[in-house]
Amino acid sequence: MVSRGFFKNFPAYLLLVMLAQSWANVTNASDSNSILASCWATATLSENVVAVARDEHRWSCSGANQEFSIDAERVLLRFDIPPVQAPVRYLLSRRSAFEALHLLAIDEDGAVRQTSFPAVALRSSMAGGYFKADLPDVTLATRQVIAAVDLPTHKMTLENAYLSPVDSGASAADLRFLLLIAGLAGMLVMPLIFNAAFYRALREPFVLWHSVLTTSLLMTIVVTSGLSVALFDPPAMTLSWMTTLLFGVTISSGAMFTYSFIEPGMMHPLLRRILPYCAAWAVFLSVFHATFPFVARPVQSVVYTAAFGPILAAFVCAMVDSLLRGSRAARFQAIGYAPLALVGLVRLVTGVSPWLHSADAMVLFYFGCMFEVLLTTLGVAERFVTIRRERDRVRNEADLLERLSETDPLTGLLNRRAIERQFEQLREVGFTALAVIDLDHFKAINDGYGHSTGDEVLKAVAAALKAGSNVRACRLGGEEFILLLRGQDVDAQAEFRRQAIPATVANAVPGLAGPVTASMGISAISNVDAFTTVYERADKLLYEAKSAGRNRTRSGIGPTHSSIPAQIDQVMMA
C-alpha cells in the first residue's frame, strides 16, 4: 500500500525536488548583491545611537563568523559599503520580536541620515520569514549603514541581517519559487477533503487531529513564505507571533494525532498518557512566548526552544515503542514525521548552542510538511480501512448472534423472541392474522418412537408451514407453532398449511403408525392489538378446536378479513 501511495503521489515528490532546487537558486540570487554586517556593538537604550556608531572602540569586527549576543538592551550592526557598490535600499532580516529599529546612513564626509521604526510598523518581505525596512537615503558617497535593534529577542535577527538594493522575492526565480510554494499549499488542501469524507463515514478522533495538524502546517507554509505577503501583506510582527502560535498548534496537534492514531495496545500506557500533556505544554509555551516575548529576553528564546526538547524525546520514545510492538500506524507516522523531527532537532541544537548560528531549516521544513501530510494521510486511509473492516466484522458477528438468538435451532424458524420484537413492524406492513398451531398427540410420538424421531417430525412440520413473504412462521416451543399472515384469504392460507402437515410428515418420517395432525386457532390483528392480546385470542380458539375433537380449525376472522364465514370448523378426513 505504501508503494502504491508513492507512485500515486510521485508528482508531489517531484514538486519537492523542484522546490529545493528553486530555493537554492533563489538563495544564490539574493546573496549576489547583498551586504552582510561586518561589525557589531552593544549599548543601552539611553545612549545616543550616533555617538555609539562613531565610537570605534565599541565595535567588534570578527568577520562572517562573529558571534552575536542579545544580552544588551540595544545591539548595533555595521554594514560597510564599498565605493563601487550599487546603492542599497532595504535592510532585511529574520522576523522575531524586538521593540524598535534605528537606521543610520553615514557618508564619507561624516554626514548622517537617520530613520527609526517601531517593530509593529515594519513590513514583511517577499522573502519568506523576513521583514524589510527602508534605509535612509543611500548615495554613492555613503560608506556605512548602521542598524540598531532595541531589545532583540533572538540572535537570528542579528545573524541574518543584510542590505539589498531590492526586496528579496521580487525576481523571476523568486516568483517561480513562490508558485511552487503555492502548489505545495494547494496540495495540502486535498488531505482535508479526504479527512472530511473519512470522518463522515467513521467518526474517529484521529481524523480530526490529522485535519488540525494539516491545517496548521498549511497555515505555517503560508505565514513563513511570501504567500502571506502576496495575498494579505500583514505587518512583519503579526506574522512573527502567528508563526510562534502556529508552531505550538502544530506540535500539539501532532502529539494528539499520535495519541489517537496509534492502535490500542500498541503503545506503552505511560507514553500515551504523556502525549496530551505534551500537547498542552506546547500550546502554553507558544502562547506565552508570543504574548510575553520580553519577560526573560536575553535567554527566553533559548529556554523556549529547549522546552520543546522533552516533547521531541517523548515523541521519539512513543514511535520506537509502537514500532517495537508492531504498530502499522506507527510505520506511516515514523516515516512521515522523520523530516519534521529532523527540522525540530536542527532548530533545537542550533537554538540552544551558543557557538552555532541559529537555523530554522526552512527548505527541509517545506519538504517535511509535504512528506508528513502525504505519509500520514496514507496511514489514516489504511487505518480507516482497517477500522471499517473490523467494525463491519463485529457488526456482522453481532447480527449473526442476534439472528441466532431469534432462531429456533432445530427447525430454523423464528422463535417467540423474534416474533414479539418484530410484531409491531409486521402489523404496520399489512400482516392481519395470527394463527396458533399445535400438533395432536405429539407426546405419543416422543414416547413411542423417541425424541430423535420427534425432532424429525418437527422439522417436517416447519417445512409444511412454508414461511414466505406473506407468511411468517415461528416455533414457540415443544409442538406449538405460530403463523403471521397477510394478503387475501389469510385463514385459507393458514388452513392450507395446517392440512399439508400430515402428508409432509409422512413423506419425511416414514414408518409412523398413523398421520400426524394439528389443531389451529386463528384470530385477526387489529391496528391497536399487542402481540399478547392477539396470541391469547388465537390460543383460546386453538383449545376450542382441541376440545371439539382435534385436527380442525377455529377461526375468529370476520367476513371483512376473509370470504370464509367466521367460526369455521373444518375437519380433514383421514
Give kind and range of the element (H or E) at residue 114.
Answer: strand 112-118
Distance CA 557, CA 560 (A): 8
Q: Which of 44, 30, 150, 45 is nearest to 90 (CA)?
A: 30
- Taking the C-alpha atoms of residue 79 and residue 40, their distance in angstroms, rounded to an integer, is 9
Q: From CA 48, how far away is CA 112, in angstroms rounded?
A: 13
Residue reference for cell 523576513 = 130
Other beta carbons within 10 angstroms of residue 208's beta carbon come to 17
Residue 365: CB atoms within 10 Å: 20
| Sheet with 142-150, edge to edge strand ranges | 39-43, 74-80, 142-150, 100-107, 112-118
**Residues 387, 183: contact at Cβ < 8 Å?**
no
The one-letter code for the residue type at 522 is: I
Which residue in the list 73, 99, 372, 479 is annotated as catalytic? 479
- Residues 267 and 263: their CA atoms lie apart, in Å, by 8
DSSP letters spanning 387-449: HHHHHHHHHHHHHHHHHHHTB-TTT--B-HHHHHHHHHHHHHTT--EEEEEEETTHHHHHHHH
- Distance in angstroms (rounded) separating the CA atoms of residues 341 and 303: 19
Among this protein's residues, is 479 annotated catalytic?
yes
Nearest to residue 67, comparing CAs of 144, 158, 129?
A: 158
Considering only CA atoms, which of 223, 188, 288, 209 is closest in space to residue 251?
A: 209
User: Going by C-beta distance under 8 Å and a sequence separation of 6 or more, which residues neighbour residue 402?
Assistant: none
Q: Which of 557, 548, 553, 558 is nearest to 570 (CA)?
A: 553
Catalytic residue annotation: 479
